[in-house]
Amino acid sequence: MAQGTDHDAPAKICTLPTLLRLRERAQSEGRLVVQCHGCFDIVHPGHIRHLRQAKAQGDILLVSITGDSSYSKRDGKPLIPEGLRAEGLAALDFVDWVYIEQSATAEDLLSRVRPDVYVKGKEYETNTDPRFLRERERVEAGGGRVVFSSGDVVFSSTALIGGLERSIDPYHARVHQLVRDPALSTDNINTLISAMRGKRLLVIGETILDEYVHCDQPEIASESPVMTLRPVQRRTYDGGAAVIARHAAALGAKPVLLTALPDSPSSEALRRRLNNEGIEVRSIQSETPIAIKQRFLIGPQKVMKLNLVEPMVLDASRQQELTSAAMQIADGFDGAIIADFGNGMLSSSVIESLCRGLRGRVGTLAGDVSGRQSGLLAFDGLDLLCPSEREAREALRCFQETLPAVAWQLMERTRTKHLMLTMNAEGLIAFEELKLSLDELGHDANRQRVRGQHVPALSGYPVDPLGCGDALLTAATLTLACGGSILSAGFIGSLAASIEAQRLGNVPVSASDLRQGFARVASARLSLEAGVASGEPRAASGA
């Protein structure tokens, strides 16, 4: 959360005469004033995004809050007094002015301030509440316009406060809610993990070697003020599509890796390593050396990354060889994963051919991308697609829309049945299409077409984020291949990612790891329930 200094924050909190004087000056200088209004009892990630997007609409951001005397939620009792709420908002560096409004609505204040832009949450776009409609009239009468923010991640202050009142922080409250879902019962999760054994999975993608160079404490070079690193240990991990295959084997599946490899000792060593883990390797000839990505570490901290990557270029005959091999291998397989790491092996036309050819041959077809050179929009007809929020927004050029709107556009463009958008520390949202009739859709263009379920990141303090997406993709794909729901897939995938995040380097996640990880989450739930039952609720540790 971006913050200003403690010295700056009080100066931002305005009296009404000061606010009107500042507004008049801004107007004379031709600066646009944007206003947001609300209670802001707990400033959560949804508020942060809402306010950041509001600031982008103009030059100055005014946040007005409902005073304690007019607070109408939770029996008129705010959790945080108005003064502290104002200080908290003023501490945000993108907030310029803060005002405490003692009236029940912002109507009168809007008439006096006459903001150029009034920003409300996306949920107000079709809202017919008379109070909001009157606010809108005041804004437009003053020459301003009303804009609706995306509201990417939907949180509820009331729900969060309810969790706090039970001494359960919002993270654990959501995990507690998830593990009470029948789809995530202990029996169901263990059954799905067991069902992964023996599943045949085809993994298609580039192979990468991730090299960790552990260095001694740095020094400053004598010839110029640059850092000098002295390597003391090197460790190499199989990455890219190779580690996806290793995750699948560790989970009990029978994977086949289809990749492009050169004739080299490192390729032969890779084959031997993977064969020893029960992975069959099929490859087409490549003239490009295996990509190496070096990470230099001092202790556990990465200080530099060096990509020793030559773009891979496959001619038309090799591309045809790749797609033909995939069709020959995949018949009757339980699943297939197409992983584009952006190094050139999988062009958009190759991805399209693979999707088209594999669709009727495998039970579950999944895909993922990594890097800006990858072809996200080339995927077609998948059961599961797992990009990050940033990758999805950049591919669609959708930077202001809500996450459900982004999800729907991507699912529609790629004809994907299920979508998981990962959001780093915020976890993931698993989306599936809502089956709405024409009558239900009507003429409402803003009607939500997808249902999203949030799964928080189950690792609070990651040791190393490398490979978390690969672990998630593998576990989620196998869960769907075993008949699991999208919620089960998202949860088991998030669990696999959290286990991977606690390890330095690309280390496969096993079925035993998943069971132990789920047991920790289940024990956290039992601890919470025991605390609530005893009248002394306490926060439990997560996985």
Q: What is the DSSP string of 177-236?
A: HHHTSGGG-HHHHHHHHHHTTT-EEEEEE-EEEEEEEEEPPPEE-SSSS-EE--EEEEEE
Domain around 525:
166-195+383-543
Is 448 within the bounds of a domain? yes
Residue range 423-438, pLDDT digits in tens: 988 899 999 988 755 5
Q: Which residue's entry shows tokens 């797609």?
A: 323
Three-state secondary structure call for residue 283? strand
- Helix then strand count (H, E) for the chain reads 19, 20
Is 377 within the bounds of a domain? no
Is 378 within the bounds of a domain? no
Mean pLDDT of 373-383: 90
CA angle 281–286–287, rounded 5-degree value: 145
Is 502 within the bounds of a domain? yes
Q: Which two tokens stand for residue 318?
A: 């090799």
Query: What CA–CA distance (Å, rounded) separates 116 from 143?
Result: 7
Q: Given a cut of 90, is residue 124 above it in pLDDT?
A: no
On whether both 283 and 345 belong to a single domain, the answer is yes
Query: What CA–CA distance (Å, rounded) separates 487 from 484?
Result: 8
In 218-335, alpha helices (H):
241-250, 265-276, 316-330
On whether both 235 and 358 belong to a single domain, the answer is yes
Query: What CA–CA distance (Å, rounded) separates 458 from 30?
Result: 47
End-to-end CA distance of the chain: 24
On whether both 411 and 343 belong to a single domain, the answer is no
Q: Given a cut of 70, is residue 440 above it in pLDDT?
A: no
Give Cα 19 to chain centroid, integer Å: 38
Residue bearing the bigger pLDDT, 457 or 473:
473
Boundary of a domain, candidates 336, 369, 402: 369
Mean pLDDT of 331-348: 94
Question: For position 294, what pLDDT does the model report?
Answer: 94
Is 376 within the bounds of a domain? no
On whether both 20 and 51 belong to a single domain, the answer is yes
On whether both 333 and 243 belong to a single domain, the answer is yes
CA dihedral 512, 516, 517, 518 (to 10 degrees): 100
- Tell me, what DSSP letter sits at residue 332? T
On whether both 116 and 131 belong to a single domain, the answer is yes
Three-state secondary structure call for residue 523? helix
Query: What CA–CA distance (Å, rounded) separates 314 from 317?
Result: 8
Q: Is 46 left (phi over 0), alpha (psi -120 to 50) or beta?
A: alpha
Boundary of a domain, candidates 342, 369, 396: 369
The count of domains in the chain is 3
Is 210 within the bounds of a domain? yes
Residue range 61-110, pLDDT digits in tens: 999 999 888 776 655 567 678 888 898 899 898 999 999 998 888 999 99
On whether both 140 and 30 belong to a single domain, the answer is yes
Residue range 221-259, pLDDT digits in tens: 778 888 888 899 999 999 999 999 999 999 999 999 999
Three-state secondary structure call for residue 241? helix
On whether both 243 and 327 belong to a single domain, the answer is yes
Compute CA distances 7 → 4, 93, 131, whole Å: 8, 12, 36
Q: Which residue's entry shows tokens 């959360």?
A: 1
Boundary of a domain, candidates 315, 343, 369: 369
CATH number at residue 242: 3.40.1190.20
On whether both 403 and 331 belong to a single domain, the answer is no
Question: For position 533, what pLDDT does the model report?
Answer: 40
- Tell me, what DSSP letter sits at residue 371? S
On whether both 122 and 208 belong to a single domain, the answer is no
Mean pLDDT of 348-362: 95
Question: For position 128, what pLDDT does the model report?
Answer: 78
With residues binned 3-state (H G I as helix, E B as strand, rest as coil), the percentages for the chain, rounded to 5, are 40, 20, 35
Cβ pair 319, 349 in contact under 8 A: yes
Backbone angles phi, psi at 254, to 5 degrees: -115, 90
Three-state secondary structure call for residue 142? coil
Three-state secondary structure call for residue 463? coil
Is 258 within the bounds of a domain? yes
- Tell me, what DSSP letter sits at residue 259? E
Q: Which two tokens stand for residue 511?
A: 């079925």
pLDDT band at residue 537 under the 50/70/90 scheme: very low
- Tell me, what DSSP letter sits at residue 69? G
Is 31 within the bounds of a domain? yes
Cβ pair 199, 335 in contact under 8 A: yes
Burial of 108 (0-12, 13-18, 19+ CB in 10 A): exposed
Three-state secondary structure call for residue 467? coil
Mean pLDDT of 327-333: 95
Report which of 358, 192, 206 is spatially closest to residue 270, judged by C-alpha positions. 206
Q: Which residues of 473-511 are buried (b: 16+ CB within 10 A; e: fewer)?
A: bbbbbbbbbbebbbbbbbbbbbbbbbbbbbbebbbbbbb
Strands 33-38 and 60-66: parallel
Query: What CA–CA distance (Å, rounded) separates 180 from 414?
Result: 33
On whether both 21 and 132 belong to a single domain, the answer is yes
Q: Is the dihedral of CA 351, 354, 356, 361 positive or negative?
A: negative
On whether both 297 and 405 belong to a single domain, the answer is no
CA angle 429–434–437, rounded 5-degree value: 165
CATH number at residue 68: 3.40.50.620
